Amino acid sequence: MDTCLDCKRVTETVTDIRTGDTICTECSLVISDHYIDDSQEWRTFANDDNCDRDPNRVGAATNPLLKSGGIGTIIDKTTTTSKNNDLIVTRTQNLVIRNSEEDMIVKACQEIKKMTDGLNLVSGVEFRACEIVSKFNGDNSKRLSRRKHLTAVCAAAVSTACREMNLSRTLKEISTVAHGVSLKDINKASMAIRRLLESSDQGETASSSSSPCAAPPPQVIIKTGELVRRFCSKLDITERETKAIREAVEIADNFDIRRNPKSVLATIIFMISQLSKTKRNPIRDIAMATEVVENTIKSSARDMYPYASKIIPKWYASEEEVTRLGGIIGSWDAARD
């Protein structure tokens, strides 16, 4: 709706997109001209020869993690007229314009996305891991290399991002999505990342940051509360059993059980599952879900059984039921003898 000078009132108008004129629908007066459409433009600008290429007006969004912003120039070799020109263009493209190090950063970010998707991690972990990897876009001592080293650095970056965001993801879990890379390689890459981050924060030189005397990277903090939800979901454990497991894990912290948190959690899941009246998960399935060896769960159960009556909530199981659990654990010793 615009005010028409001839009609002397507000009237409906129509815009002629071809000419850019705004026209009154009552008296056909051109109220304004040279209209500029500021909406999104979805047109493409294909070549007239109807070839397969269909270049768009704009490219991808700028990448804040790259020094160049991801903006570059690609020289089309088909526009040259001779083989000599082709060689000159190719040489210029490879040696001057193309940034191979940024290409490695882009590949690393793609690999990180695959890993975070495989582990069902939040998008914040992916961005932080890519941000860590982008710091390698520096001098020769911080360059990324191809093949296994690139995958190991990506896995270490994901591990570091999880640790910074207080997410319980062990190196063993991360290695399951880092195909062809060992835990030793990931640990080595984690040390390099730690030195890089320390030098970046403290403003140290590259030579001092690459000192071989650097301390090993801190281990990922295991939050048993998060592991309870994850492992119980894998084993399809009911809400009642999950609540009992969570309470038992909290009570177990008050006792001197010299086992790592994952072994303690796997053993408690086994005990609660054996006392369940709906579904009893076999020890093999529990070992696969918690990534703890069966023999480790059995040995942990022997160590923890003296505390079982105090660890397992009273509302979940009676003293008689806990005593029957001791018979199952005792049968292992009999079979071993």
Write out pLDDT tens, residues 53-83.
Answer: 555 555 556 666 776 666 666 655 555 455 5
Residue 238 half-sphere exposure toward CB, CA atoms < 13 A: 11
Helix (H, G, I), strand (E, B) or coil at 35: coil
User: Residue type for 204, please?
Assistant: E
CA distance 84 to 239: 73
Query: pLDDT per residue over 302-324, tens digit each?
Result: 888 888 888 898 898 888 888 88
CA distance 177 to 25: 64
pLDDT at residue 218, rounded to an integer: 44
Question: Do the Cβ atoms of 173 and 291 come closer than 8 Å?
Answer: yes
User: Going by DSSP bridges, is the β-strand pair 21-24/13-16 parallel, antiparallel, or unpaired?
Assistant: antiparallel
Q: Residue 208 — left, alpha, or beta (φ > 0 → left; ψ -120 to 50 → alpha)?
A: alpha
Mean pLDDT of the chain: 76
pLDDT at residue 62, rounded to an integer: 64
pLDDT at residue 255, rounded to an integer: 84
CA distance 306 to 257: 11
CA distance 239 to 197: 42
Token pair for residue 100?
Answer: 């191979």
pLDDT tens across the length of the chain (337 residues): 678 878 877 888 888 877 888 888 888 888 888 777 666 656 555 555 555 555 555 555 666 677 666 666 665 555 545 555 556 666 665 554 455 667 788 888 889 999 988 888 888 888 888 888 888 765 444 556 555 688 888 988 998 888 888 777 777 788 888 887 888 888 888 888 888 887 766 654 444 434 444 444 444 445 566 778 888 888 888 889 999 998 988 888 888 888 888 888 899 999 998 888 888 888 899 988 888 888 898 888 888 888 888 889 889 888 888 888 888 887 776 566 5
Which residue's structure tokens are 């159960």?
301
CA distance 191 to 212: 10
CA dihedral 257, 293, 178, 124 (to 10 degrees): -40
The helix, strand and coil proportions of the chain, stated in percent and rounded to the nearest 5, come to: 55, 5, 40
pLDDT at residue 44, rounded to an integer: 57
Q: Residue 303 — left, alpha, or beta (φ > 0 → left; ψ -120 to 50 → alpha)?
A: alpha
Question: Do the Cβ atoms of 313 and 247 come closer than 8 Å?
Answer: yes
Q: What are phi and psi of 15, to 5 degrees?
A: -105, 125
CA distance 241 to 306: 21
| pTM assigned to the model | 0.54
Question: Do the Cβ atoms of 26 and 4 come closer than 8 Å?
Answer: yes
CA distance 88 to 80: 10
Number of H-type helices and E-type strands within the chain: 14, 5
The DSSP element (H or E) to which 113 belongs, if any, is: helix 100-118
